[in-house]
Amino acid sequence: KAGVTQTPRYLIKTRGQQVTLSCSPISGHRSVSWYQQTPGQGLQFLFEYFSETQRNKGNFPGRFSGRQFSNSRSEMNVSTLELGDSALYLCASSLDRAGGAFFGQGTRLTVV
Amino acid sequence: AQKITQTQPGMFVQEKEAVTLDCTYDTSDQSYGLFWYKQPSSGEMIFLIYQGSYDEQNATEGRYSLNFQKARKSANLVISASQLGDSAMYFCAMREGNTGKLIFGQGTTLQVKP
């Protein structure tokens, strides 16, 4: 069974640009959650999608958005990038709210 | 508020010895899940072990076991027979029962010495 796939693995963007990250969950998993990891703030929850609906959202500005498609693949978008958005972005795949949560390899975003 | 505390920023262990990584949690939920993840320098978050709040037996997965003490709100990870490849950052996390959101501790860096 294939694991969670995140693309791209690395990105370098300029301030003010926008970026889209992709996450393909484990086959059969309908829940996809996104997390931001920085040295200063640790791991922080961004949002969770289940069956194409956003169920939960963390405390991030509106520049951070996401969506989920009918095949459960999810995308995360960050608009008007700031230097502080430089981070490792991880997505987690689950059947639902209970049970295991499995992560992809992450996308390392650098904003210059 | 839900919280995970890992009090050991860094740990050293000799190869082939056992090591315990501490984790305490705070929640008012009756239903929750506890996880341990390993994060090597590559960044990937590798799932190690899971314990549900209603599970009476401590979870075990190969060399990993979770010492779950519900009354003390602790969920320590025990790694037996440490290997050099175990050197990594280890995160304890709690899954909120009503939202499914994972709350992470600050992590413990483990270094295995040959």
C-alpha–C-alpha distance, residues A34 and B94, integer Å = 15
For B43-63, what is each residue's pLDDT tens digit? 999 999 999 999 889 999 999
For B65-82, what is each residue's pLDDT tens digit? 999 999 999 999 999 999
Rounded to a whole number, what is the distance in angstroms from the first to the last CA of chain A?
37
Contact B59, B9 (CB under 8 A): no
Task: Tell me whether residues A94 and B97 touch, CB distance under 8 A.
Answer: no
Chain A interface, best mutation among B6, B41, B44, by max A CB count within 10 A: B44
Q: What is the mean pLDDT of residues B98-114?
A: 93
Q: Which residues of B fall within a CB distance of 8 Å from A53?
A: none
Q: Please tell me the predicted confidence (pLDDT) of residue A65.
A: 97
Contact B72, B53 (CB under 8 A): no
- Characterize B54-92 residue by residue with b for buried, 16 or more Cβ atoms within 10 angstroms of its Cβ, and e for exposed: eeeeebeeeebbbebeeeebbbbbbbeebeeebbbbbbb
Long-range contacts of B20-23 (CB under 8 A, 24+ apart): B20/B67, B20/B76, B20/B77, B20/B78, B20/B79, B21/B76, B21/B77, B21/B78, B21/B79, B21/B90, B21/B92, B21/B108, B21/B110, B22/B74, B22/B76, B22/B108, B23/B74, B23/B75, B23/B76, B23/B77, B23/B92, B23/B105
pLDDT confidence bin for B97, thresholds 50/70/90 = confident
Low-confidence ranges of chain A (pLDDT < 50): none
Q: Which residues of A fall within a CB distance of 8 Å from B33?
A: 98-99
Task: Tell me whether residues B43 and A105 touch, CB distance under 8 A.
Answer: yes
Q: Please tell me the predicted confidence (pLDDT) of residue B58.
A: 93
Q: Which residues of B fall within a CB distance of 8 Å from A33?
A: 100-102
Strand-strand pairing, A107-111 and A10-13: parallel
Q: Please tell me the predicted confidence (pLDDT) of residue A1.
A: 60
DSSP for residue A61: -
- Does B64 lie at the interface with A, CB-CB under 8 angstroms? no
The chain B residue lying nearest A38, using CA atoms, is B106
Chain A interface, best mutation among B39, B45, B102, by max A CB count within 10 A: B45
Q: Please tell me the predicted confidence (pLDDT) of residue A23.
A: 98
Q: What percent of chain B has pLDDT over 70?
A: 100
Task: Tell me whether residues A90 and B97 touch, CB distance under 8 A.
Answer: no
- Tokens for B79? 């790694």
C-alpha–C-alpha distance, residues B56 and B67, integer Å = 11
Q: Give the other-Cβ count within 10 Å of B42's Cβ.
A: 11
Q: Which residues of A fall within a CB distance of 8 Å from B92?
A: none
Q: Please tell me the predicted confidence (pLDDT) of residue A94.
A: 92
Distance of alpha carbon A102 from the chain centroid: 13
pLDDT at B93 over 90: yes
Strand-strand pairing, B19-21 and B60-61: unpaired
Handedness of CA B113, B85, B62, B33 (dihedral sign): positive
